Amino acid sequence: MPLTVAALYKFVPLPDVEALRGPLEALCEGLGVTGTLLLAREGINGTVAGRSQAIEALLAELRTGPLFGGRLRDLDCKLSQAEAAPFRALKIRVKREIVTFDAGATDATKAGIPVAPEDWNALLDTEGLLLIDTRNAFEVALGTFPGAVDPGITRFSAFRDYVDGLDPAAHPHVAMFCTGGIRCEKAGAYMRARGFADVRHLEGGILRYLETVPDSENRWRGDCFVFDGRIALGPALVERPDHAPETLR
């Protein structure tokens, strides 16, 4: 029976992050869920897998249970399937950031404007648009949107150097995308803080676009790398395991 994979995140103040780790770990272990969840004072991020009922129970607890007290009620989550277990173990970690960027200096709540997958294609036709793929170079090589700029980075924190080399006046309209949306919230907030007036990002990331937009309208080219044993996903979030892992790093 296929497993359900949940990629989730939310930027939300969690001042009690240290106290949350143990109960969250116990909850996941009790449900037989594997994968990685990162906790920080700025929120939660991660990907986990398990039987469909277990993932449903976990998401219900995260969103409405007493552990987080409703702070994750509108948790962003993308669901897909895996024929085999994509993770070997469970890891619950407390970090400084839920996505490593600049040690928490950038406030992701000040990100750019989210654009729904259904409206993304129209945005791509904007004249003079600077379209940026915020992911690492090996991810970009596997698939991207035509016309997107590859900053050529090997770690997300290096995106700051790329932005610092751009002139905001030369790029009045900016759009960006990443796997699930989390990197764009940090990247967009950073760009806005440096004077870029119109910054937008693909809501829910590439995964939600592939899940939502029909093949006849799909502008994505290639596959989307995912950080688990499936390696990559295609349209409708179908597994694409025919990529050698050693070529993707």
pLDDT tens digits for range 169-209:
999 999 999 999 999 999 999 999 999 999 999 999 999 99
Amino acid present at 196: F
With b for 16 or more beta-carbon neighbours within 10 A and e for fewer, the 10-44 pattern comes to bbbebeebeebeeebeebbeebebbbbbbbbbbbb
* 3-class secondary structure, 48: strand
How would you list the strands of the sheet with 198-202, edge to edge? 113-115, 198-202, 173-177, 130-133
Please state the rounded mean pLDDT for residues 17-43: 98
Please state the rounded mean pLDDT for residues 114-139: 97
Within 8 A by CB and 6+ apart from 159, the residues are 101, 134, 151, 153, 183, 187, 190
Indicate if 77 belongs to the active site.
Answer: no
Q: Can you give the pTM of this predicted structure?
A: 0.93
Of 28, 178, 184, 224, the catalytic one is 178
Question: Alpha-carbon distance 231 to 122, whole Å?
Answer: 29
> What pLDDT is stored for residue 249 in this prediction?
52
- Tokens 């915020």 map to which residue? 134
Q: What is the pLDDT of residues 62-101, one digit of tens each?
A: 999 999 999 999 999 999 999 999 999 999 999 999 999 9
CB count within 10 Å of CB 137 equals 12
Question: Alpha-carbon distance 108 to 96, whole Å?
Answer: 14
Contact yes or no for 179/206 (Cβ under 8 A)? yes
Burial of 66 per CB tally in 10 Å (0-12, 13-18, 19+): exposed
